[in-house]
Amino acid sequence: MRLRQLFLVSAAAFSLAGAVQAENVLKWGANRDIGSLDPYSYGDSFTINVLNHVYEGLVRYNKDLKIEPALAESWEILDDKITWRFHLRHGVTFHNGNPFTAADVVASLTRVSDDTSPLKGNLPAYVSSKAVDDYTVDITLNGTYPLLLNDLTNIHIFDKEWMVEHDALMPTDIGAGTEGYATYHANGTGPFIVESRQPDAKTVFVANPNWWDEPQHNLDRIELTPVNSAATRVAALLSGEISFTNDAPVQDLPRLAAAPNVEVLEGVDLRTVLIGFPFRETLTNGEPNPFVKKSVREALYKAIDLDLIQQKVMRGKSRIAGATVAPPIPGYVDALDTVPGFDPEASKVLLAQAGVPEGLEFEFNCLSDGLVNEEQFCQAIASMWSRIGLAPKLDVAPRAVQSPKRTNGKTDVYTLGWATLPLLDSYSPLLQIFHSKDGNAGVFNWGGWSYPELDKLIDAAGSELDLDARLALQTKALEMVKDEMIMIPLHQQPMAWAVTQDVEQMPLFPDAKPRLWFARMASGS
Amino acid sequence: MIAFLLKRTANAAFVMLAVALLAFVIFRFFGDPVEMMVNEQATQADRMELRERLGLNDSFVTQYTRFVSNAAQGNFGISYRNQQDVMVLIKERFPATFELVLVATVISLVVGIPAGVITAVYRESRLANMLQLGSIVGVSLPSFVVGILLILAFSVSLGWLPAFGRGETMDIGWWSTGLLTPSGRAALVLPAISLSTFQVTLVMRLVRAEMLETLRADYVKFARARGVPARRVHWRHALRNCLMPVITLTGMQIGNLIAFALVTETVFQWPGMGMLFIQAVTFVDIPVMAAYLMIVSFIFVALNTCVDITYAWVDPRLRDDTARAGGRNG
C-alpha cells in the first residue's frame, strides 16, 4: 500500500515535471513479471537480470560479455590459492546514501549462501568471507577454483545497515511463511533506482544521478510492464504503448518488421538445444535400454535432418550446432562444430547391427513452455525417428510437470537447452550436464551416464587457475562428449527483440539479457 | 427457518471442504514447485531440503488438514514466487477484477435489455434480425478472440484505447479504483466489452423469451385494448414483469464472470485475480492457487446460498420442501 501511495505522489510530481522538460522514458514490455524485488529469494534468472539494473556485483560483464571490475576495482589470489582478495571501489554509495564498504559484501555473501536461499548454488565453491579493512574483502573457497569471478557477476551486493535496520539479513524463508522487507523494497548501488512497484502491472525505475560509473545510457525512467499474451505485446508495440520488448514472438516478426515505427533486432542465442539419452539399464517401459550403445545414439543422430529443421521449423533463423556450446563460449573450437550429416539408410544399418528391435518404443520428453518452437521440432524429430523404424512416444507438457519426470529418471529421451548461464563458460555444461552425478556436479545429468575419464578432465579444469590450461582441458572434455555422442546438439536458437523508433540504441546480447544501461533513446522523444 | 439456515450453511461449508480437497488432488498434477524455485546450479540435496521445508514431502492428508485449519483462520501462507502474503496479493487484485466484472455487468444490462425488447417486439424487422445474428456471433466467439479483435481495431489501427493494463489507479482505503482517472476509464473499456459479449447475448435472449411470454398475457392485451400507447405497454408494463429472472441471472452470473475474467485478464494484462491465478499455475505457486480457488468458490457458494435463502424467505413452500427432501442444491 505504501508503495502505491508513493507511486501516486511521485506520479503527480512527475506529471508536473513532465510539462517542463521531456523525459526519456523506456517502456519495456516483458513477457512476464519479476518475482519480487529480492533477487535472493527465488532462483529466477530473469528477476536477477532485471534487478541487476538496481543491484550490482563485485564484477560485471561488459558490452562484449567479458568480465570487468564493478564494485571491486581489482583482485588477486593469495598464496594459499584458495583465498581471493578483492579491493573495493571507494566513494560508492547505495541509493539511500549509505557508503559501500567491505561489511556490505560480507553480509551479502552470507545472505546468498544461507541455507534458506534458493540461490545458494550460485556460489558453489564459497566457504566464508571476511573484511580485512573497510575496502578489502577476503573470500575463502573450498579449493582452487577458477570461475569465482563468473559466479560473482550475478551476486548482488546489499547494504548491511539497511538490511539490519529492516530485519532482512536473511533471505525470505518461504517455508516459514513470513514476508520479508526486501520483497517490497530495494536499495542497491546500480544505475537505476526502484521508484515504485505494482506486481504484475508496473515497476518503475529512475536513473541514479549518483551512480559511480559514467552512464552510457540517456534514460530517465524505465517502466517495466509485463504483457504475458504475445498478441497483446505485438499490438502494444505497434501502437507505441511499449517501446521495447525482449520477447518478440517468432511468428510475428515479419509483421513487426513491416511496421514503419518498429525495428526488429534478431540474433542467435547462446542457448544450445540438446537431445539427451537414458543410460539406465532399462527404459521406462521395462524393456532393455539400447541407448547405452554408442552406435544406437549415432543412428538417432544421423536420422535427424538438421537442415530441414533449421529451414522449416526454425524458419531459417537458428544456427545448426555441432558442438555443445556456442562459438562465443570459452572452450569452443571450430573443430568441434561438425555434424555427421543426414543419412537415414546408415541409421537403419546401425540399428540392425545393434540388434534394436523394429518398432522400439520409448518416451520422448519435451516442454510446451521451454525452448523456441520446441513442440514443433520435437514433432519433426519424432517423425524422423519413426521413419527409421522406431516408435518414439512424444510427451509434451509444461516445465513444471516435466521437470520431476526428468530429474527422477521417469522418462527416456529428452530435450535440454543450455546457455552456460550465469558462468558464460564451457565449464558450466561440463560440470552440470556431463559430469557424473555427485553433489554440485551432474545435477542435469538426467540420463545417468558416467565417464570416469571425462570426470577427471572436468575436475582438473575445475581447479586449474591458468586460463589457457583450463580451456585446453575443457576443449578436450568437449571433444570426448562429442565423440561419445552423449547428447545430440541440434542448434542455437534464434532470439528476437523489438524496439520502436523512439529507441536509438539497444545492444542485443547473445545471453538474451537486456542491459538497459547501454540503451539510448532518440532525443526529444 | 433457523433449521433451514443451519442446513444451508452446513451445505455451503461442506462444498468448500470438497473444493479444497479437489484442489489438493489436482495440485499433484501441476508439477513440482521446487523445480521452479531453485536456480540451475542447486544440488539435488538442496532441492530435497527445500521440499522438506515447504512441507511437500508430508502425506496428502497432513497437507490437506494443515491447509484447511490454516485457511479457516484466514491464513493462506505466502506465495512461493512473490514471497508475499497470499491474502494481501488477492486483496490487491480483487478490486481490479471486481470493477471489470461490475462494468461488464452494467454493459450487459444496458445493451442486453433494450436489444431483447426490440427483438421481441419487432420480431420481423431488419434491426431485430441483425441483433439476433449478432447474438449468435456473441455466443459463439470465444472471449479471447473478441479481445484480440478489439485490440487490433481500437488500439493498433485507431489508436484510441490502450491495449493492456489498468491505467492510473487511485486508492480509496485499501480499494484501488481505476474509475476515477481518465486513463483508468479508458483502459477499462476494451476488457469490459470483451468480457460482456457473452453476457450481453445471454441477457438479450432471456429478455426476448420472457417478453414473448409476457406480451401474450391478458393484462398486456387489456392495456392495448384500453389504448395505452404501445411504447408504454412494452417498456413499462411488459418489461417490468420480465426483469425478475434477469436480476436473478445477473446476480448468479457475477460469480461466473469473476471466474471467467481470467481469460480476458490474460489478453489485456489486467492485473486482477485471474491474472494472478494464471501466473500461479505457471510457477506451481500452490498457496496462491489454493487461495484463489477457495475464494472464488466461496463467492459462488455465498451467492447461491443467499439466493436460496431469499427464495425460501419469499416462498415458504421451498422451505417445507427443504425440510422434507433435502432441498435444491445450488
Do the Cβ atoms of A444 and A432 come closer than 8 Å?
yes
Do the Cβ atoms of B327 and B7 come closer than 8 Å?
yes
- The reported pLDDT for the residue numbered B318 is 64
- Say which range, A16-20, A340-344, A380-384, has the weakest mean pLDDT: A16-20
Is B42's pLDDT higher than 80? no
Do the Cβ atoms of A432 and A481 come closer than 8 Å?
no
Q: Any idea which residue has 517495466 for its cell?
A: A224
Average pLDDT value for residue range A49-73: 94
Query: Which chain A residue shows the shortest CA-CA distance from B163?
Result: A236
Question: Can you read off the three cell numbers belonging to residue A454?
Answer: 571425462
Q: Which amino acid is at A258?
A: A
* B37 closest CB neighbour out of A43, A202, A437: A43
Q: What percent of chain A has pLDDT over 90?
A: 74
Is A454's pLDDT higher than 80? yes
Is B141's pLDDT higher than 50? yes
Query: Which chain A residue shows the shortest CA-CA distance from B84?
Result: A179
Q: From CA B63, how far away is CA B68, in angstroms rounded?
A: 9
Report CB contact under 8 Å: A116, B53. yes
| Residues ≥6 apart with Cβ < 8 Å to A353 | A295
User: For residue A248, which phi and psi values (nearest 5 degrees)?
Assistant: -90, 120
* A236 closest CB neighbour out of B33, B39, B163: B163
Q: Which amino acid is at B91?
A: K
> Among A192, A217, A256, A236, which Cα is nearest to A29's?
A236
Q: Is A202 helix (H, G, I), strand (E, B) or coil?
A: strand
Question: Can you read off the three cell numbers belonging to residue A112?
Answer: 546468498
Q: What are the domain boundaries of chain B?
A: 2-72, 89-322
Report CB contact under 8 Å: A120, B266. no
Q: What percent of chain B has pLDDT over 70?
A: 95
Q: Which amino acid is at A469?
A: A
Do the Cβ atoms of A500 and A237 come closer than 8 Å?
yes
Contacts of A38 in chain B (CB under 8 A): 83
Q: Is residue A252 very low, low, confident or very high in pLDDT (cuts 50, 70, 90)?
A: confident
Long-range CB pairs of A434-440 (<8 Å, 24+ gap) are A434/A324, A434/A458, A434/A477, A434/A481, A434/A486, A435/A459, A437/B44, A439/B43, A439/B45, A440/A121, A440/A124, A440/B41, A440/B43
- Return mean pLDDT, chain B: 84
Q: From CA B23, how far away is CA B281, in angstroms rounded?
A: 12
Query: Which chain A residue shows the shortest CA-CA distance from B76?
Result: A177
For residue range B214-253, list pLDDT tens digits in order.
888 888 888 888 888 888 888 877 888 788 788 888 888 8
Report CB contact under 8 Å: B170, A8. yes
Q: Distance between terminal CA atoms of chain A?
A: 32
**Burial of A336 per CB tally in 10 Å (0-12, 13-18, 19+):** buried
Report CB contact under 8 Å: B82, A183. yes
Give A27's strand partners: A223
Q: From CA B58, how far away is CA A365, in angstroms rounded?
A: 28
Do the Cβ atoms of B250 and B303 come closer than 8 Å?
no
- The reported pLDDT for the residue numbered B330 is 40
**Burial of A384 per CB tally in 10 Å (0-12, 13-18, 19+):** buried
Report CB contact under 8 Å: A228, B269. yes
* B41 closest CB neighbour out of A8, A42, A122: A122
Q: From CA A52, how far away is CA A29, in angstroms rounded?
A: 17
Please tell me if residue B266 touches chain A, with a CB cutoff of 8 Å.
Answer: yes
CA-CA distances (angstroms) from residue A148 to A57, A143, A234, A328, A346? 12, 11, 40, 20, 45
- Say which range, A42-51, A98-107, A269-278, A290-299, has the weakest mean pLDDT: A42-51
Query: Which chain A residue shows the shortest CA-CA distance from B277?
Result: A200
User: For residue B215, which phi and psi values (nearest 5 degrees)?
Assistant: -65, -20
> Among A337, A359, A358, A346, which Cα is nearest to A303's?
A346
Do the Cβ atoms of A387 and A350 come closer than 8 Å?
no
Is A20's pLDDT higher than 60? no
SS3 of A380-439? HHHHHHHHCCEEEEEEEECHHHHHHHHHCCCCCEEEEEECCCCCCCCHHHHHHHHCCCEC
For residue range B172-204, list pLDDT tens digits in order.
888 888 888 888 888 999 999 999 988 899 899
- The reported pLDDT for the residue numbered B191 is 93
Is B169's pLDDT higher than 60? yes
Q: Is residue A6 very low, low, confident or very high in pLDDT (cuts 50, 70, 90)?
A: very low
Is A179's pLDDT higher than 90? no
Q: How far is A161 from chain B (nearest CA, A)?
A: 22
Is A417's pLDDT higher than 60? yes
Is A428's pLDDT higher than 60? yes
Is B324's pLDDT higher than 70? no
The pTM for the full model equals 0.83
Is B144's pLDDT higher than 90? no
Between β-strands A72-77 and A126-133, what pairing exists: parallel, antiparallel or unpaired? unpaired
Average pLDDT value for residue range A125-152: 94
Q: How far is A273 from chain B (nearest CA, A)?
A: 16
* A175 closest CB neighbour out of B54, B152, B275: B54
- The reported pLDDT for the residue numbered B30 is 75
CA-CA distances (angstroms) from residue A454 to A273, A276, A451, B1? 21, 17, 5, 79
Is A1's pLDDT higher than 50? no
Q: Is A267 helix (H, G, I), strand (E, B) or coil?
A: strand
Is A7's pLDDT higher than 60? no
Instruction: Choose the mutation target among A34, A173, A174 for the interface with B, i.e. most B CBs under 10 Å.
Output: A174
* B35 closest CB neighbour out of A172, A404, A421: A404
What DSSP letter does each residue of A7-25 carry, written as one string?
A: HHHHHHHHHHHHHHS---E
Please tell me if residue B71 touches chain A, with a CB cutoff of 8 Å.
Answer: no
* B32 closest CB neighbour out of A226, A240, A400: A400
Q: From CA A432, how far away is CA B40, in angstroms rounded?
A: 9
- The reported pLDDT for the residue numbered A524 is 54
* B164 closest CB neighbour out of A119, A236, A432: A236
Do the Cβ atoms of A105 and A55 come closer than 8 Å?
no
CA-CA distances (angstroms) from residue B285 to A371, B48, B266? 22, 17, 17
Q: From CA A378, how far away is CA A274, in angstroms rounded?
A: 11
Contacts of A444 in chain B (CB under 8 A): 40
- The reported pLDDT for the residue numbered A131 is 95
Please tell me if residue B74 touches chain A, with a CB cutoff of 8 Å.
Answer: no
Contacts of A232 in chain B (CB under 8 A): 148, 151, 163-164, 267-269
Do the Cβ atoms of A108 and A164 come closer than 8 Å?
no
Query: Is the ipTM reported for this complex over the cut 0.85?
Result: no
Q: Is B118 helix (H, G, I), strand (E, B) or coil?
A: helix
Is A491's pLDDT higher than 50? yes
Average pLDDT value for residue range A149-161: 94
- The interface residues of chain B toward chain A in range 13-42, judged by CB-CB distance below 8 A, are 29-33, 35-42
Give A319's strand partners: A492
- Return mean pLDDT, chain A: 90
A321 against A39, higher pLDDT: A321
Omega before A422 cis (within 30°)? Answer: yes
Question: Can you read off the three cell numbers belonging to residue A60?
Answer: 560485471
Please tell me if residue B170 touches chain A, with a CB cutoff of 8 Å.
Answer: yes
Q: From CA A71, how far away is CA A189, in angstroms rounded?
A: 9
Average pLDDT value for residue range B294-308: 84
- The reported pLDDT for the residue numbered B323 is 46
- The interface residues of chain B toward chain A in range 80-119, judged by CB-CB distance below 8 A, are 80-85, 89, 92-93
Length in residues, chain B: 330
Query: Which chain A residue shows the shortest CA-CA distance from B152?
Result: A235
Q: From CA A359, how far away is CA A72, in angstroms rounded?
A: 60
Query: Which helix (H) or strand (E) is A488 found in, with range?
Result: strand A487-500
> Among A217, A235, A209, A236, which Cα is nearest to A225's?
A236
Contacts of A403 in chain B (CB under 8 A): 31-32, 35-36
Query: Which chain A residue shows the shortest CA-CA distance from B92?
Result: A1
Chain-centre distance for alpha carbon B328: 22
* B31 closest CB neighbour out of A41, A201, A403: A403
Instruction: Choose the mutation target among A2, A150, A152, A239 for the interface with B, i.e. most B CBs under 10 Å.
Output: A239
Question: Can you read off the three cell numbers belonging to residue B98?
Answer: 471486481
For residue range A271-307, list pLDDT tens digits in order.
999 999 999 999 999 999 999 999 999 999 999 999 9
CATH 1.10.3450.40 for domain B89-322: no
Contacts of B89 in chain A (CB under 8 A): 199
- The reported pLDDT for the residue numbered A336 is 94
* B54 closest CB neighbour out of A121, A122, A174: A174
Contacts of A43 in chain B (CB under 8 A): 37-40, 42
Query: Which chain B residue shows the shortest CA-CA distance from A432?
Result: B41
Q: Write the DSSP symbol of residue A441.
A: B
* A5 closest CB neighbour out of B84, B171, B276: B171
Please tell me if residue B165 touches chain A, with a CB cutoff of 8 Å.
Answer: yes
Query: Which chain B residue shows the shortest CA-CA distance from A239?
Result: B156
* A179 closest CB neighbour out of B78, B269, B282: B78
Contacts of A119 in chain B (CB under 8 A): 39
Q: From CA B171, how far away is CA B279, in angstroms rounded?
A: 24
Report CB contact under 8 Å: B164, A241. yes
Give me the half-sphere count of Cα atoms (radius 13 Å) on the Cβ side of residue A34: 27
Please tell me if residue B194 touches chain A, with a CB cutoff of 8 Å.
Answer: no
